[in-house]
Structure 1
Amino acid sequence: MSVIHDPLSEEAAARIILSAAAAGSPLQIRGGGTRTLAQAGGRDILSSANLSGIVAYNPAEMTMTARSGTPLEEIAAALEKHRQMLAFEPLDLRPVLGTGGIPTIGGVFATNASGARRFVAGAARDSLLGVRFVNGAGEIIKAGGRVMKNVTGLDLAKLLAGSRGTLAFLTEVTFRLLPVPEDAATIVVSGLNDAEAAAAMATAMSMTVEVSGAAHLPESVRGRVLGGRLPDGAATVLRLEGLAASVAVRAEKLSAAMASFGAVSVLDAGATAQLWREIRDVQPYADGTARPLWRVSVAPTVGHQLVAALRLETGVDAYYDWQGGLVWLRMEANPEAELVRRYIKALGGGHATLMRASAAAMATTPVLQPQAEAIAALSTRIKEKLDPAGLFPAGW
C-alpha cells in the first residue's frame, strides 16, 4: 500500500526525498489530486497539500508568491479583492475527468494548465517568474524572483512548468498577474462549417480589435454550452475584453466584418464569462462517460483538416479553441492513438495527449505525445541533472 507523505516544510520534503533516494524507492508527486493520469502504481506519494498559503502579494506590481499547495480558489479570492487575475485562465478538468480533489497553484504550473486566453496571453509558464523546489538529490533550490528579468542560461522556472512532477518537487511559485477587464462581449457567427470558421477566426485575428478568445463549436457541440442558449447552427465565437467604451466600438467593428461570413449576434459580459468558462473546462464532454478524449495542439490552420480526416475513418466529435490550434477530440469507441498521431504528423506535427479513456485503454495507450529524438535526448540529460536517482517517474 502506498504511503502518503505530507511535509510541512521544504526541509521536511528534502528529508523525505533523501530517505527515498537512499532506499531506492520512487515517489509519485501529487498536488491537489484532480487528474486521473497521475496514478501512484504502488509507489509512495509526496504531496504538497500542507505547503499552503500566500507568501507575498503586491497588487501594485501585480505579482504574487504562494506555496505550491495553495488552493486555486484561495488565490482567486485574494485577487478578486484587487480586481486582478491569472492571465492564462487555468482550466478545471474535474468535471470532464470525473475526479475530485482541489486544484492548487503548484499543480497549475506543474501541468502548464492554460485556458482560452493562452493563444494571445501566453501559457501558464509565461506568467511564472520564479520557483522554489527540492530536486531528486534532496537539495532546496531557488530559481528566478519576483520581478521579470532577462537571464542567460537555463531558465529553471520555465523548465519546471509543464514537467508534471517528473523533475522536482515544487514548493513555492512566484507569478505575474493582470487586471480584470472592465467589460467583455462575445461576437457569435452562426452556421459556419469547420473550414469556414477557420477562415473567419483568421480574419478576426488579423484585425486590430484585440480578440482574446476564438473558438468554434460545431452543431454537435453548440447545444452543450450556455444552457443551449446560443443561436441555432454551429457557433464561431470571438471574445473582446477591456474598457466598456472600447469593447463597444470594437464589437461593432468586428460584427460588421463577420457579417460577410454568417449571421451575427452579441453576448453580454455575463453570458461571455459563462461561455468561455465552459469552453475552457471542456464542458461539452463532461458527460459522465469514459469515452476517449484527446487534447490536441496543432497549427490553427490545420485543426479542422485533422478532424475531417479522422471522420473519414472513425467516429469522432470535436470542437476548437485557440483559433483552431487546440482541438478537443472525443472518440466514440477506442482511442485510436496510432491514427490520431499519424494524421497529426502528416499535417505538420503537433501534440496529442489522451486525457480520458477506460482504465484498460489508459493502461495500454501511450498517453503523452512521443518526443522527437533530439528533444528526448535533451529531456533525458535534464532529468539526470535534476533527478539523478530517478525518484520521480514519468507520468502525467
Structure 2
Amino acid sequence: MTALLDMLAPASEEDLSRLIAERRDPLRIIGGGTRVEHAGGDRLSTANLSGVVTYSPGEMTLIARPGTPLPEIETMLAAEGQALAFEPPDLRQVLGSNGTPTLGGMVASNASGPRRVMAGACRDHLLGVRFVDGQGRIIKNGGRVMKNVTGLDLSKLLAGSYGTLAVLTEVVLKTLPHLPARATLVFAGVDPARAIQIFSAALATPFDVTGAAWRDGNAYLRVEGLERQLIYRRDRLLALLAEHRPDVLDDRQTVTLWRDLRDLAHFTDRKAPLWRILTKPTEAPAICDRLRELGGTSSMDWGGGLIWYQGPGSAEQIRSVAPHATLIRRAGLSGPAFPPQTGPMARLQSGLRRSFDPHGILNPGLMDA
C-alpha cells in the first residue's frame, strides 16, 4: 500500500464526510495508485477504509470497503471456488507503481479484463454502493442482492468516474463460480482485419468465448468451463474455423497467456506513453493501421472493442485517429488524461459534476481540462 505519511487518510466514513464538507481545495483520491497517472491536489487515501463487511458465498455477494486490497479479495473468493468474473487487470507493471490494487480503485475505474466479452464489465456486477460526494454528504444507493437494485442506479454512474464525483466508502459486488478448465485457440500470422473476422465468427456462436484478443500478429480465442463443456466448445470452434488452421494451448499455457494479455505485459516500456482506446470492432483495423504509421505498437482486446497503443504521438494526433482515447501512462505528455467532451455530453458531464461536486475538489483536471 502507498505510504500514508504525506496523505490525508480518514479512518471512517464520518471522518471522510467531515473532511470533504470543510474542503475547498483540490483533492487527489488515492486507492493503490495503480490505475491511471494523475497529479495535482492534496492526496486523500482510502487505505484506512478497508476490510470485508460481509461475504456470503451461498448468495454470491461480497460487501467490502474501498481500501481493501484486491489480491486479498481474490484469494478469499478463490478459497470458496468463486471469482470476480470480469477479470480486473493489474496495471502495476505498466505504470511502474509499487502500490497494491484496491477494491475501490477497481470500481472507480470500472476495471475489466478480457472476460468482459462474455461476463460484462465491473459495473455490471456492482449491486450497490455507499459514498461521500463533493459536498460531504453520505449517500447509499442500490441493494445487496440483484432483485433489490431498483430506481436510479448511481453505482453504474460511479463505476468509471475515477473519483471525480464521489469517494466510495462501501461496494456490493456479485461474485460467480470460478471456471475450472480453459484452452486457447491461436491463429498465427493474421493482421487486425483478419483477426476481427475471426472474432466476429467466434463471438456469434453459442460457445461462450471468454477472450478474444490480438497481439504481435497472433489472434487468440479463449474458452472456459467444466471439462466436458470446454472440450465441446473447443472442438466446435476448431471445426468452425478450420480454414485458419489454429493451434491449441493447454490450461497452463492459457493461464499464463491471458494473465499477460490482461496485465499488458507487452507494454512495459515506461518511457513511451500508453493509450487505452475504445472503439467499434469494425473500426479497429483502420485505427491500428493509422497508429502504426505514427511509429508505435498496438494490441486489441474485447473482440476489437478495446485497443492499447504504446508509442509516439501527441494527444491531438492520437485523438484525431481515435477520439475515445484515454492516456493511461503519460511518459511526459501533459493535458487531461480523458478525451474532452463536447456538445450534449459536455453539458451532461458538467451537470453531474455540479450536482455531486459543486466546488470541483474531487480529482479536478483528470476528466476535464
Q: What range is the shorter-chain TM-score in?
A: over 0.9
Alpha-carbon distance between aligned partners in 2 of 1:354 and 1:303, rounded to the nearest angstrom? 18
The equivalent residue for 1:395 is: 366
Residue 4 in structure 1 maps to residue 2 in structure 2? no
One-letter code aligned to 1:372: T
Query: 1:150: Cα distance to partner?
Result: 6.7
Alpha-carbon distance between aligned partners in 2 of 1:156 and 1:207, rounded to the nearest angstrom? 33
The equivalent residue for 1:317 is: 297
| Cα pair 2:273 2:331 within 8 Å, conserved | yes
Q: Which residue, 278, 285, 304 being the options, matches 1:297?
A: 278
CA separation of 1:328 and 1:214: change in aligned 2, threshold 3 A: same
Alpha-carbon distance between aligned partners in 2 of 1:384 and 1:36, rounded to the nearest angstrom? 23
Q: Which residue, 44, 48, 51 being the options, matches 1:50?
A: 48
One-letter code aligned to 2:98: G
Q: Which residue, 108, 120, 135 being the options, matches 1:122?
A: 120
Alpha-carbon distance between aligned partners in 2 of 1:136 and 1:207, rounded to the nearest angstrom? 46
Alpha-carbon distance between aligned partners in 2 of 1:94 and 1:302, rounded to the nearest angstrom? 29
| Cα pair 1:54 1:70 within 8 Å, conserved | yes
| Cα pair 1:111 1:161 within 8 Å, conserved | yes
| Cα pair 2:292 2:298 within 8 Å, conserved | no
Query: 1:38: Cα distance to partner?
Result: 2.4
| Cα pair 1:213 1:323 within 8 Å, conserved | yes
The equivalent residue for 2:317 is: 339
Query: 1:216: Cα distance to partner?
Result: 1.2
The equivalent residue for 2:220 is: 237
Residue 257 in structure 1 maps to residue 240 in structure 2? yes
| Cα pair 2:143 2:149 within 8 Å, conserved | no
Query: 1:148: Cα distance to partner?
Result: 1.2
Query: 1:102: Cα distance to partner?
Result: 0.8
Alpha-carbon distance between aligned partners in 1 of 2:331 and 2:30, rounded to the nearest angstrom? 22
Residue 280 in structure 1 maps to residue 275 in structure 2? no
Query: 1:151: Cα distance to partner?
Result: 5.6
CA deviations on 1:52-73 (whole Å, 9 max, x unpaired) are 1100101011110001100001
Alpha-carbon distance between aligned partners in 1 of 2:331 and 2:207, rounded to the nearest angstrom? 43
Residue 308 in structure 1 maps to residue 311 in structure 2? no
| Cα pair 1:37 1:395 within 8 Å, conserved | no
One-letter code aligned to 2:291: L
Q: Secondary structure at the match of 1:50?
A: coil
Query: 1:319: Cα distance to partner?
Result: 1.1
CA deviations on 1:293-337 (whole Å, 9 max, x unpaired) are 11111011111111112334x212111111111111111x3x332
Residue 383 in structure 1 maps to residue 353 in structure 2? yes
Q: Which residue, 154, 171, 174 being the options, matches 1:173?
A: 171
One-letter code aligned to 2:286: Q
TM-score (norm 1): 0.87
One-letter code aligned to 2:351: R
| Cα pair 2:126 2:155 within 8 Å, conserved | yes
Query: 1:152: Cα distance to partner?
Result: 5.8
CA separation of 1:151 and 1:131: change in aligned 2, threshold 3 A: closer
Q: Secondary structure at the match of 1:4?
A: coil
Q: Secondary structure at the match of 2:146?
A: coil
The equivalent residue for 1:76 is: 74
Query: 1:344: Cα distance to partner?
Result: 2.7
The equivalent residue for 2:32 is: 32
Residue 356 in structure 1 maps to residue 326 in structure 2? no
The equivalent residue for 2:21 is: 18
Alpha-carbon distance between aligned partners in 1 of 2:274 and 2:199, rounded to the nearest angstrom? 24
Alpha-carbon distance between aligned partners in 2 of 1:373 and 1:304, rounded to the nearest angstrom? 28
Q: Secondary structure at the match of 1:285?
A: coil
CA deviations on 1:46-99 (whole Å, 9 max, x unpaired) are 210011110010101111000110000110111011110001111111101111
One-letter code aligned to 1:44: D
| Cα pair 1:321 1:327 within 8 Å, conserved | yes
One-letter code aligned to 1:7: P
CA deviations on 1:11-61 (whole Å, 9 max, x unpaired) are 1111111221xxx2222211112245222x2x2222100111100101011
| Cα pair 1:295 1:327 within 8 Å, conserved | yes
| Cα pair 1:189 1:258 within 8 Å, conserved | no
CA separation of 1:251 and 1:178: change in aligned 2, threshold 3 A: same
**Percent identical residues:** 47
Query: 1:389: Cα distance to partner?
Result: 2.0
Query: 1:165: Cα distance to partner?
Result: 0.9
| Cα pair 1:290 1:356 within 8 Å, conserved | no
Gaps of 5+ in 1: 219-233, 346-350
Query: 1:268: Cα distance to partner?
Result: 1.2
Query: 1:153: Cα distance to partner?
Result: 4.7
One-letter code aligned to 2:241: M
Query: 1:191: Cα distance to partner?
Result: 1.8
One-letter code aligned to 1:271: Q
The equivalent residue for 1:222 is: none
The equivalent residue for 2:310 is: 330
